[in-house]
């Protein structure tokens, strides 16, 4: 009996919680939902932050564990430095559908900054706003903010960068539209419609998601049972353990995405390249679009954004097989 419990305890402690912009499927609004193995982590995965990596040590991600090897050996890693001297893209022009309407979803903090996840039917993304380029259509799953910006342009790095995460019909991340954010003099209409910023959590750098809480509870229960067996005493639960505070999530937030796109002229000028997720496991195969136009907020809006952020920019990667602006 005890060896089996020891083995079960080992499995529970070695499990990783894994979630992302999948917590707003209609009919599943009260829990996190894992739809695909490929939906693991990253710039496009704002609710899954493991404890074994950190943004300020991104140079070492590939050595942490085998699953992160692509962070070191990949040929299309993101982000990369961009420049106007190399020109803008004449290919893969994005066009937008269903962006000119209100969408609903939840408003939270992904542990490093503000995040919004859109409502959608279970495993059906086709009703969401979409972007199309060439013969590819991808659907807006959610957006979140990094600070400072992931991409520099001409050596300059903006205060923050918004990532609009798009998936295919199976829910797999295929594209990220990046918009750089800097303070200006006027109020930015898009941010003016949002609720108050949800702050990041101090300490480990993020709020544990529901799956992490479940695993933590399971580990605790196994530990208590094992301790009780070994000591011949009944297992007891620590006071307050079942009432652990959940991370703040504001549900059913209405949002108009059109002002955001209009503010950057709907990506009429942009850089594009083949890249990756910007945190482990650094999965490649992501089409990046980075708007040339910077979206300017008011000073107060930028202070609110930065006040809800903590450092989340991966070190820029060497350009290799990224096919920047190419056909």
Percent of the chain with pLDDT over 70: 70
- Phi-psi label, residue 118: left if phi above 0, alpha if psi -120 to 50, beta otherwise: beta
Looking at residues 159-183, what average pLDDT do you find?
98
* pLDDT at site 52: 87
User: Would you give the distance in Å from CA 25 to the centre of its chain?
Assistant: 17
- Single out the residue of 292, 54, 306, 291 nearest to residue 159, CA to CA: 306
Alpha-carbon torsion 229, 233, 237, 238, what sign?
negative
Q: Contact, 105 vs 255, CB < 8 A?
A: yes
Range with the poorest average pLDDT among 141-155, 164-178, 187-201, 243-257: 243-257
Looking at residues 252-276, what average pLDDT do you find?
97
How far is 68 from 136, CA to CA, in rounded Å? 28
Residue 13: CB partners within 8 Å, gap ≥ 6? 219
Q: When comparing pLDDT for 246 and 315, which is higher?
A: 315
Q: Contact, 211 vs 20, CB < 8 A?
A: no
Percent of the chain with pLDDT over 90: 67
Q: Give one DSSP letter per residue of 75-117, joined into a string.
A: SS-S---B-STT---SSS--EEES-SSEEEEEEEE-SSSEEEE
Give the tens place of pLDDT for each residue, 219-256.
Answer: 455 555 544 444 443 333 333 232 334 458 999 999 99
Alpha-carbon torsion 37, 38, 42, 46, what sign?
negative
How far is 202 from 199, CA to CA, in rounded Å? 9
Establish whether the linkage from the previous residue to 242 is cis, with ω within 30° of 0: no
How far is 219 from 215, CA to CA, in rounded Å? 6
Give the tens place of pLDDT for each residue, 184-214.
Answer: 999 999 999 999 999 987 544 344 444 444 5
- Single out the residue of 289, 268, 292, 274 nearest to residue 85, CA to CA: 292
* pLDDT at site 240: 29
Helix axes 2-14, 210-231, angle to 10 degrees: 160
Range with the poorest average pLDDT among 14-18, 77-81, 134-138: 14-18
Confidence label for 16 from pLDDT (cuts 50, 70 and 90): very low
Confidence label for 217 from pLDDT (cuts 50, 70 and 90): low
């Amino acid at each position: 009996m005890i060896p089996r419990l020891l083995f079960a305890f080992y499995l529970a402690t070695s499990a990783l919680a894994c979630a992302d912009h999948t917590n707003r499927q209609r009919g599943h609004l009260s829990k996190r939902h894992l739809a695909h193995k490929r939906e693991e982590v990253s710039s496009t995965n704002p609710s899954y932050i493991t404890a074994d990596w950190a943004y300020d040590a991104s140079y070492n991600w590939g050595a942490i564990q085998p699953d992160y090897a692509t962070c070191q050996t990949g040929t299309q890693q993101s982000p990369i430095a961009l420049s106007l001297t190399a020109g803008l893209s004449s290919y893969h022009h994005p066009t937008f559908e269903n962006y000119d309407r209100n969408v609903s979803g939840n408003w939270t903090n992904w542990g490093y900054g503000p995040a919004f996840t859109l409502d959608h039917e279970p495993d059906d993304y086709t009703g969401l706003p979409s972007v199309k380029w060439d013969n590819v259509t991808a659907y807006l799953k959610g957006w979140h903010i990094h600070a400072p910006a992931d991409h520099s342009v001409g050596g300059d790095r903006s205060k923050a960068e918004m990532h609009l995460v798009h998936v295919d019909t199976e829910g797999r991340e295929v594209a990220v539209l990046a918009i750089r954010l800097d303070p200006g003099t006027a109020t930015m209409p898009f941010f003016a419609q949002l609720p108050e910023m949800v702050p990041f959590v101090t300490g480990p750098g993020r709020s544990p998601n529901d799956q992490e809480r479940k695993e933590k509870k399971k580990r605790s229960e196994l530990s208590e049972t094992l301790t009780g067996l070994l000591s011949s005493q009944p297992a007891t639960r620590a006071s307050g353990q079942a009432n652990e505070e959940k991370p703040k999530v504001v549900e059913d937030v209405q949002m108009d995405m059109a002002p955001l796109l209009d503010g950057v002229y709907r990506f009429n000028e942009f850089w594009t390249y083949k890249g990756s997720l910007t945190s482990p496991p650094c999965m490649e195969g992501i089409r990046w679009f980075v708007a040339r136009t910077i979206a300017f907020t008011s000073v107060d809006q930028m202070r609110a954004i930065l006040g809800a952020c903590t450092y989340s920019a991966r070190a820029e990667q060497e350009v290799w097989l990224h096919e920047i602006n190419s056909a």
